A and B are shown apart, each in its own frame.
Chain A
Amino acid sequence: MNHLLIAPVVLPAIVAPFTIMVLRHHLSLQRIFSLASTLALLAISLVLAAQAANGTVQVYELGNWPAPFGIVLVLDHLSAMMLLLTSVLALAVVLYAIGSGWDNRGRHFHALLQFQLMGILGAFLTGDAFNLFVFFEVLLIASYGLMIHGGGTKRLQAGVQYVVYNLLGSSLFLFALGTIYSVTGTLNMADLAVRVRELSPDDTALLRVGAIMLLLVFAIKAAVLPLHFWLPASYANAPLPVAALFAIMTKVGAYGILRMYTLVFGPEVAATVGLVGDWLLPAAMLTLGAGAIGVLGSREIGRLVAFGAIASMGTLLIAVALMTPQAASAALYYAVHSTLAAGLLFLIADLVMERRGGAIVAQRPMAQTGLISTLFFVGAIAMAGMPPLSGFIGKLLVMDAARDNDLVWWVWTVILAGSLVTIVGMARAGSEVFWKSHDTSHIREAEPELAEDDSQPEQEDVAQTAPALPFVACFGLLGNLVLLTIFSGPMMEYTDATAAQLFDPSIYIDAVLRRAEQ
């Protein structure tokens, strides 16, 4: 067994308690350990991605118990890719939080961040459905702490909503797992896949109920339209660097759908055929529409980016819902792009928030306005999916994958109209915030409610110090987007291989259940 496989879970699980118990009064040591741990995670993810690239599925049996009796961690193309994506985003967030001093505005930022990474990475690695639930809870409970980091009335109120919504989701997850267990008698994903395919068609009513409930759970995490209400308030009121990290959390929902509904309830399984496509595709299109309209209507820059993230989840889930290998490949490419783009825009929104408050109204120019407006311009291009950045390629791939679907005209209309509305919304926000500030006739004074927020430092303070590290983080993410665009060919080969692996579950099942050796 390759013990490196469990390192992404164990390393943050050691660093986080160590940070709380030993380093709680030493911020600089906390920063060093957190940064070192995140760098190590990036290195581990790179090694694991290189190992997974040849198409083998590696299995790590915890306590050496063979599946399905013990819990397994599984590394395949998809897991390796999501690990790498998470580590890259986490590194940018850690750098930004250190540079902007966000980690000093409340306690235990770095410990919570490491716990959150442990949950996210574990969720991507695990091969057991109940263990997936446990890792979801780990990442959620850390996210509750991060969400209210820094305090403040509005943030706490938004935090209550966020926690309640997610606790409901967790209860539903348990109901779904219980239902599925009562039918199949197992929770190991590979074993589930075998048992579900063996069920006689008459016995599948309960299983379908379980599958739909599980879809609802993942839809809550992925913020699909009727279940998206938690996202704008939570992300806009959370510390924005944390919101940047949360950009990967919606992808955990999309990952769950992609994993469970190719491996266990795959498109060829008679019991649950059509469940995902029939329900998810219209919902995803509505999500894209609602996100785009939200971008247009936002009066606050944090909300603007949050709705942009919802719109990109809509595009991503359209591709997931098509349930073909080509569409899955497009979805994966777009998932990488949209995570990086949403993270980048949240960080830029925080740069703006720190300097002039979040309201999208014309005010006096802020410090480094040229640099920040350039970043926002490029980030908005990436988010809206305009050429030359990878969002354009991603949307093109999604639309190309929809070509054979019955609803192709609907899909194309929604994606194109959604992109247009997003562009208009972003352009409006950008010209209000960055452009009109140079024309004194447009300037209104800052609204008094912004001054109340204790977490806002004095404007002059920021202007004088203006550390370089936040910009390093932003340009790092931007650099990744550019790399994703330039190397879209090799990236597409990788996502094609991933999709092929996803739609041939026998490789995964054989590896986990050790069928090849028998």
Chain B
Amino acid sequence: MEILFASAVGILTAAGIYLILRKRTFPVILGLSLLTYGVNLFLFATGRLMVNAPPVLNKYAEVAYTDPLPQALVLTAIVISFGMTAVVVMIALGAYLSAKDDKIDMIEDAERAGDDA
């Protein structure tokens, strides 16, 4: 399970970073989402991976339990990253509609005219 989980985090992060380095806005936003998925899984794993253990302490019996704090952290991180993705999509859409171009670098108007020619 650990290998599966670790490689999932690794692949998500690597794919995210690859996409973030692209030139157009759409892949960059996809890359950001993948990266946040990777982060969320990673945060979840910081409380150690446990199967079939509730995140609750039991004072009557010695039962296995898992750390509840990372789960709370992940919940917060999911909400924040979801909201942030929505914001960046809206801003990118605005920039795309206004500039008729979704390149993420800001080329000067003169150069852009040259590109089109």
Contact = CB atoms under 8 A, between A and B. Distances in A.
B104 A164 contact: yes
B8 interface: no
A158 B109 CA distance: 14
Nearest to B105: A161
A141 interface: yes
A151 B42 CA distance: 37
A10 interface: no
Given A168-B20, A174-B77, A449-B109, A159 B39 contact: no
A171 B87 contact: no
A170 interface: yes
A158 B43 CA distance: 31
Max chain A Cβ within 10 angstroms of own Cβ: one of B43, B45, B67:
B43
A14 interface: no
Contacts of A177: 43, 73
Contact of A171 (B39, B48, B106, B109): B39
B76 interface: yes
B91 A160 contact: yes
A163 B35 contact: no
B98 interface: yes
B3 to A, nearest CB: 17
Contacts of A130: 73, 76
B83 interface: yes
Interface in A385-420: none
A161 B98 contact: no
Interface residues of A, number: 33
B15 interface: no
Given A130-B73, A168-B35, A178 B91 contact: no
A153 B95 contact: yes
B14 interface: no
Contacts of B81: 167, 170-171
Interface string A165-199: 00110110011011101100101000000000000
Contacts of A161: 104-106
A164 B88 CA distance: 7
B87 A134 contact: no
Interface of B: 20, 25, 28-29, 32, 35-36, 38-39, 42-43, 45-48, 67, 69-70, 73, 76-77, 80-81, 83-84, 87-88, 91-92, 94-95, 98-99, 104-106, 109
25 contacts: A130-B73, A137-B84, A141-B87, A144-B91, A151-B94, A152-B98, A153-B98, A156-B91, A156-B94, A160-B95, A161-B104, A161-B105, A163-B87, A164-B20, A164-B29, A171-B81, A174-B42, A175-B42, A178-B42, A178-B43, A178-B73, A179-B46, A181-B69, A181-B70, A233-B106
